[in-house]
Structure 1
Amino acid sequence: MKRVVLLSASPRKNGNSDILCHAFIRGAEEAGHTCELITLYEKKIGFCRACYACFKTGRCVLNDDMAEILEKVQDSDVLVIATPTYFLTMNGMLKTTIDRFLPKWQELGGHDVYLIITGHDSRSGLKLAGDELRAIFENLGNQIKGIIWGENVWQKGEVLNTKAMDEAYHAGLGI
C-alpha cells in the first residue's frame, strides 16, 4: 500500500483539475492505496522572499501552510501534481507552491510523480506546462510515471466524459 498525495492548483472547487484528481483517487483507492488531496486554493501560501534563512534552519520564516504541505509531500510515496494552464504554463498558485519547496528541496526526491494538466488548448498548447513540471520534478530526483492531459477544456466540468477521466482513473489504479 502506498501513500499518495495530490496537490491540486485548481482555483475552482471541483474544477477540471480537481475532477481528474478525484478520478485518480478512485483508481488508487480501489487498488488499496491511501490518498490525500490538498487543494491549494484552500491553503495560505505566501511568496518566497529569497531570504535563504531556510538554508540554515531547514524551515521557512513565513508562517503559513507550506510546512504542513512539505511534510505531507515528503512522507508520500506517490505525488500527483494537477494544474490548469494559464498562458501556456502552470498557474501562479502552483508556481508559488513549488518555489516554497526550497527549505526541503534536497529531501523531495524518490517519488513516483504523475502530472495532470488541463486547459482550453490541445496537447500542443499544454506541452510547455508538462515540460516545465517534468524538468522540475526530475531535477528534484523524482520519476515521472505519467502525464494526464485534460485537453480542450475551459468551463468547469468539461473534462467529464473525456478520455482524460479514464486515463486518470487507470493511472491511479496502476500505481
Structure 2
Amino acid sequence: MKKVLVLSASPRRDGNSWTLAQAAVAGAREAGHEVEFAHLNDYVQGLFRDCRTCRDATGACSVGDRYDELLLEKVVPADGLVVATPLYWYGMSGALKTFYDRLFCHTSGSAPDGDAVVAGLTGKKVALLISCEESYRGATLGLTAQFQELARYLHQDLVGVAVGVGNSRGEVRSDPSLPLDQAADLGRRLFDIRVTDYRIDTERSNRVWAGRTS
C-alpha cells in the first residue's frame, strides 16, 4: 500500500478539476492505496516573496498561511501525487503556480528543513489532470511540458496526463473521450505505469515489457 495525495488546484469545490480529482481518488483507493484529498486554496494564500526579507528568526518562511502544513504533512510524506488543475491562460492555476514557486523557500540552501524536504519530494510518481473548455490539443501542451520539466527537475516520474473538456460545473462527465475513466486509471495504476526516457547511450534490451513473448 502506498500513500497518495490528490490535490485539486481549482478555487471551485465542485467543478471539473474537482470531478477529475475525485475519479483519481476512487481509482487509487480501488488499488488499495491510502489516499488523501486536499483543496489547494485551503492552504495557499500568500504569493512567493523575497526570502531574504521574509524569513523569521529561525530561517523559516513567515508567509501566514497553511502552505507549510500542506507541504510538510501531506506532500512530502506521499509516495504519489495527483494534481488536478483548470487550464488558466494556457497554464496551471495561479494557486498551483504559487505552490511550486514557494518550494524554493523549503529547498534553497538557506532553508532550515531543506534536506528533508528535498528527500521527500524526489522519487514520487506524479499524474496531471487538466480541465479546460477547448478540445484543441495544443491548448494544454504548454502545461504538460511544464509538468514534464517540473518532474525532471524534482527527480519524479510523470506517469500520465488526462484532459477533460468542459466548462460548466461537472461538464467533463459528458466528454466522450471519457476523461473520468482516464483519471481513475491513472490513480489505479499510478505506481505500475512504466516511465522511460532513453538517451542514445542508454543500455536496454529489445523488449519493452518483460515476460511478453508476442
Scaled by the length of structure 1, the TM-score of the pair is 0.91
Higher deviation after alignment, 6-15 or 20-29: 6-15
**Aligned ranges for residues 56-67 of structure 1 at < 5 Å?**
59-67=60-68
Which amino acid in 2 is paired with 1:37?
Answer: F
**1:39-91 CA distance string (max 9 Å, x none):** 0122342111122466x966312231011111111100001111101111111
Which of 75, 84, 95 is the aligned partner of 1:93?
A: 95
Q: Secondary structure at the match of 1:147?
A: strand
Relative to 1, partners in 2 of residues 1:155 and 1:126: Cα closer, same or farther, differing over 3 Å?
A: same
Supply the AA of the counterpart residue of 1:141.
Answer: H
When you count strand as a share of all residues, which structure comes out higher?
1
* Structure-2 change in CA distance of 1:58 and 1:119 (3 Å): farther
Amino acid at match of 1:110: G
Aligned-residue CA RMSD (Å): 1.8
Q: Distance in 1 between matches of 2:98 and 2:186?
A: 26
Residue in 2 that maps onto 1:173: 188
Could you tell me how far 1:22 is from its partner in structure 2?
Answer: 0.5
Letter in 2 for 1:131: A
Report the equivalent of 2:173.
Answer: 160
Q: Does the alignment pair 1:130 with 2:144? A: yes
Task: Tell me, in whole angstroms, the C-alpha distance in 1 between the residues paired with 2:41 and 2:84.
Answer: 12
For the residues of structure 1 that align with 2:60 and 2:128, how far apart are their CA atoms? 27
Q: Give the distance between the partners of 1:29 and 1:135, measured in 2 at CA.
A: 28
SS at match of 1:82: strand
Following the alignment from structure 1 to structure 2, what is the Cα–Cα distance between the partners of residues 111 and 58? Answer: 27
Partner of 1:104: 106
The 5 A counterparts of 1:33-72 are 33-52=33-52, 59-71=60-72, 72=74
- List gaps (5 residues or longer) in structure 2: 108-117, 191-214
Contact 1:24–1:169 (CA under 8 A) maintained in structure 2? yes
Aligned residues: 173
Unaligned runs of at least 5 residues, structure 1: none
Q: What is the one-letter code of the residue matched to 2:131?
A: T
